[in-house]
Amino acid sequence: MPNPAGSVSSRKIRGKQGDVPGVEVVGKKGATELLNRFGSLHEIFAPEVANGEKVKGALKKVLEQREQAELSVRLATLQHDVELGLSLKDLRYQETTRV
């Protein structure tokens, strides 16, 4: 299993990380425990979790700040499907002559 402490979800669940805000008062330990327990941020927000009777600690903070957590993950996720409008030929190095 990959180390959840290094994942985008873990880093962005935690408090401020660089320019992307996270969930206040949730640290590395709390974020790692949540991701080990639930597997992903998506699973944390499953209705059966959100409606559970004993919601406390880091889980409570993440559920209370769901919008912030989701925004943080969205901002930190690299987009790999961006259309550049260029072909590989356009990107090939072309030596220029100096005058």
Q: Where are the domains of the chain?
A: 4-91
Q: Is the pLDDT of residue 2 over 60?
A: no
- Phi, psi torsion values for 20, nearest 5 degrees: -105, 120
**Tokens in use for 41?**
């941020």
Q: Which CATH number fits domain 4-91: 1.10.150.20, 2.60.200.20, 3.30.110.30, 3.40.50.1980?
A: 1.10.150.20
Q: Is the pLDDT of residue 75 over 60?
A: yes
pTM of the model: 0.60
pLDDT tens per residue across span 6-61: 566 676 677 666 677 777 767 888 888 888 888 888 888 887 776 665 778 888 88
Give 3's pLDDT tier (boundaries 50, 70, 90): very low
